[in-house]
Structure formats: C-alpha cells, structure tokens
Amino acid sequence: MSKSLGHEFQGDKYCRLKRNTDLSDTVIIYALFSLKKGEKGVLVNSYGIYADPFAREMLDKLFIKH
C-alpha cells in the first residue's frame, strides 16, 4: 500500500455485526470511497482483540476524527 492511502481514500460509514452474544463472532464492516475516482469498497475486520492490527492502522488513517 502506498503512504498516500489516507489522502486517496476516506472511510464513510461502519456497522458492527454480531451473530450472538460472543464477541469473537463480531465483525465490523467499513464503507470506503476514493476521493479521486469516486470508487467505493468495503473492508471487513474482526472486533476487539481479534482485530487485524494492520487493518486497524489503515482504518485510523482513513477515518477523519472530528
């Protein structure tokens, strides 16, 4: 991935889905879009301690904190 990823893409929305009360069955789906090309996509990651650290780092760059 390029270092400019955070400048080309932005996180739009996210939704946490869980199948039952066990957090290990929980995922978060993130909606992403390209600022330059208008393309859209999704990223799916586990929740909590099961989350992929690389995906978490990437998402921190994509979602603008207000």
- What residues does each domain of the chain span? 5-62
Is 32's pLDDT higher than 60? Answer: yes
- Alpha-carbon distance 42 to 62, whole Å? 12
Does the reported pTM lie above 0.85? no
- Alpha-carbon distance 19 to 12, whole Å? 23
Rounded to the nearest integer, the mean pLDDT of the chain is: 77
- Alpha-carbon distance 9 to 37, whole Å? 9
pLDDT at 7: 61
- Alpha-carbon distance 64 to 36, whole Å? 16
Comparing 6-10, 42-46, 51-55, which segment has the lowest mean pLDDT?
6-10
Confidence of residue 3 (pLDDT cuts 50, 70, 90): very low
